[in-house]
Chains A and B, each alone.
Chain A
Amino acid sequence: MRKPARLDIDAILDDKGTRIIVCCGAGGVGKTTTAAALGLRAAERGRCAVVLTVDPARRLAQSMGLTELDNTPRLVSSPEGGGQLYAMMLDMKRTFDEIIEAHADPERARQILSNPFYQSLSSSFSGTQEYMAMEKLGQLRRSDEWDLIIVDTPPSRSALDFLDAPERLGRFLDGRFIKLLTAPAKAGGRSAFRLLNAGFGLMAGAMTKLLGAQVIKDLQTFVSALDAVFGGFRQRAEMTYRLLQAPGTAFLVVAAPERDAMREASYFVERLAEERMPLAGLVVNRVHVSPASGLSAARSAAAAEDLESRGEHELTAAVLRLHAGRMQLAARESREQEHFVSAHPTVPVVQVRAMSEDVHDLTGLREIGNLLATA
């Protein structure tokens, strides 16, 4: 395998110019753990770091002693040397509520917050989480209280949802259907569909039948209220987007040495380049290595077979079988990575070996940090 450049984690963490690190990658590859381990290592090297996680599984929380969704960064550790580690788990609904409260007059804010469609949108729209993560990132950065923000992207079905979400939300709120629903509000509050021609009338009838008249009414209130505060949404989304393209940002693509995850990583790298986002490198988690890598799978299996056929040293034979399996796995993992490296030969890579246990505490995070920096 062509050897890629080694990703120098400490150089990134020690560079005071690095203000934001974004960990992205497929679900289940250890993004959150990587983000937390980087945060701790940065703090122990003197940075004042905050880790922002959006993972509803609350894993990071557990390893850092956080228990609740929270919208304020909490101090996790202040190691010797002046650094500090803060962490927070994004409360998406509260972040959304706060935006509404900040941008609408109290009466309108009340209307929006109590609307059933707002409640549904703010707690379960698949793009809301990504959008709010970006919003929070922008807030943290503007506050300038931390000199390094590490953000763990949501476990989206499609990998770069967090980049697309602001635009999607914008497109959605600018859509024709929304325009249709807001039309009466803009025309002085007359009935929703009176202004519309016969074709639209048919459709309006269909919608009322399908959803019920009350639903249509709620929808209209919601959309017209939201419309009034939306201008600010798009503007800030664009600001955050530009922030991500700035030189102080480093994107780390996180993967595991499996086909789907590596394919996703390739896709990420390409997308980031398209969007002109600064890529720092690839972290491959959970790589299996063997302490006896000099003994190949084939030789190990042959020796095991030999012992078995002679009926001798049963235990040794079993150990050799085990080793052959491990070497096969390592070979498969290395093939999966090769595809990535040949497609993206200039992307620096660091591998973190598989741990036999999940991370539960700061000690575990510190160990991952060591592996990231010195592997």
Chain B
Amino acid sequence: MDSPDTDWADVRLHVVTGKGGTGKTTVAAALALALASGGRKVLLVEVEGRQGIAQIFDLPPLPYEERRIAVAPDGGDVYALAIDPEEAMLEYMEMFYGMRRAGRALTKMGIVDFATTVAPGFRDVLVTGKTTEAVRRRGRNGRRVYDAVVLDAPPTGRITRFLNVTKEVAGLARVGPIKNHSELVSGVVKSPETAVHFVTLLEEMPVQETLDGIAELRAAGLPAGGIFINMVRQSLLPQAALDTAVKGRFDSEELAVGLKAAGVTDGSQAQALAEALAEEVEEHAHRTELERAERESLTEAGLTRYELPLLADGVDLAGLYELAESMRNQGAA
């Protein structure tokens, strides 16, 4: 199949990160749907054991197994995989050493627990290893099995450590198989086939964390992708009204006239209600102004930005398709 004409046409591995509470998993799921549309095959990967994908798609908990979970618009399939580091380790031992039984014994002895506790770098290399294997995997026809892989990754504060496996592992294992494996992973993660996307809200803290995260990622030589601004609210008021409101000069008398015309209040109460509503408008204008400033600071990063609407009814399956469509309209997929 030809590469579609999108901003990330050559990218095979989409890593989605974001501060807690920004809707990272939702965006990753919608991106997988968007990338799959038009008859493509996409794998959505989860690594933190939270079963967030199952919750969003309203499915029972996902096993450690790639299975089809959704059909994209215009055909196309989304597969999902919840990576369990323990299972990944067994698979890895079998694949490279044919030692599944010994692997089981290690698990029983708590070595995986041990490795993930004392050296999170080991755990990360197993998880990213499994993900990049799916990216590289080819079918009998020699073509890649997945057109794209979307990884619902750890949050912004941890993303660079998580992806920079070679560095994390180097201190622990200077030679040996883990070290070689981490170099293989690194080859994929640092290539132009990978893009790390950031999910943020138009609020001070998430925006600052996004900018810090991007700087850190770049310093480590990892490829930054796009910024997904989530839960954007449409302003209902015209800009001129917002401008006067932010200065505290919103005309409550005119509002009172309108309220009377609408019949929500009688004459004596109209002015008091109008003043209360004007206060609300001023607060709203103030927030809109802050959001504008946050949007502005995001431009500093020099990355492509996409805006996703706040879903009025919360995130459900219909909402995911709505977000996916919005992504496609903006060229993200």
Contact = CB atoms under 8 A, between A and B. Distances in A.
B211 interface: no
Interface of B (DSSP majority class)? helix
B171 A120 contact: yes
A272 interface: no
B111 interface: yes
Interface of B: 19-21, 48, 50, 93, 97, 99, 102-103, 105-106, 109-111, 113-114, 117-121, 157, 161, 171-179, 203-205, 209, 236-238, 241, 254-255, 257-259, 261-265, 273, 276-277, 279-281, 283-284, 286-287, 290
Interface string A195-218: 000010011011101111111001
Interface string A283-308: 00000001110110001100110110
Interface in A170-214: 172, 175-178, 180, 199, 202-203, 205-207, 209-214
A325 B99 CA distance: 60
Interface of A: 27-28, 56-57, 59, 116-117, 119-121, 124-127, 155, 157, 172, 175-178, 180, 199, 202-203, 205-207, 209-215, 218-219, 222, 290-292, 294-295, 299-300, 303-304, 306-307, 312-313, 315-323, 325-326, 356-358
A371 to B, nearest CB: 15
A214 B273 contact: no
Given A206-B93, A210-B177, A291 B259 contact: no
B110 A212 contact: no
A111 B216 CA distance: 31
B255 A316 contact: yes
B258 A315 contact: yes
Contacts of A27: 20-21
A172 B102 contact: no
A323 B277 contact: yes
A206 B103 contact: yes
Given A120-B121, A292-B277, A318-B237, A313 B262 contact: yes
A358 B205 CA distance: 8
A172 B255 contact: no
A130 to B, nearest CB: 13
A116 B175 CA distance: 14
B277 to A, nearest CB: 5
Nearest to B286: A356
A304 B205 CA distance: 35
A134 B14 CA distance: 38
A28 B174 CA distance: 38
Contact of B97 (A209, A295, A321): A209
Contacts of A199: 105
Contact of B120 (A125, A292, A312): A125
Given A57-B205, A207-B106, A316-B261, A119 B171 contact: yes
A303 B105 contact: no
Contacts of A322: 236-237, 280-281, 284
Given A116-B171, A157-B48, A358-B204, 13 more contacts: A120-B171, A120-B172, A176-B110, A203-B106, A206-B97, A295-B265, A307-B258, A307-B262, A315-B237, A315-B255, A321-B236, A323-B277, A357-B204
B258 A177 contact: no
B178 A356 contact: no
Contact of A126 (B103, B114, B120, B290): B120
B273 A292 contact: yes
30 contacts: A28-B20, A119-B171, A120-B118, A120-B121, A125-B117, A126-B120, A172-B117, A206-B99, A206-B102, A209-B99, A211-B177, A212-B173, A212-B178, A214-B176, A215-B178, A290-B276, A292-B273, A292-B277, A292-B280, A294-B273, A303-B263, A304-B262, A306-B262, A307-B261, A313-B257, A316-B255, A318-B241, A356-B286, A357-B204, A358-B205
B89 to A, nearest CB: 8
Contact of A211 (B157, B161, B178, B284): B178
A47 B48 CA distance: 42
Contacts of A116: 171-172
B273 A117 contact: no
Contact of B290 (A291, A300, A321, A357): A357
Interface centre among B50, B99, B171, B262 (most CB of A within 10 A): B262
B251 to A, nearest CB: 9
B176 A212 contact: yes
Contact of B118 (A57, A117, A205, A318): A117
Nearest to A328: B312
A177 B281 CA distance: 62
B162 to A, nearest CB: 11
Contacts of A205: 102
Contacts of A215: 172-173, 176, 178
Contact of A300 (B109, B264, B284): B264
Nearest to B161: A124
A266 B219 CA distance: 41
A209 to B, nearest CB: 6
A195 B254 CA distance: 90
B180 to A, nearest CB: 10
Nearest to B171: A116
Contact of A212 (B105, B106, B113, B179): B179
A307 B161 CA distance: 55
Contact of A117 (B119, B255, B257): B119
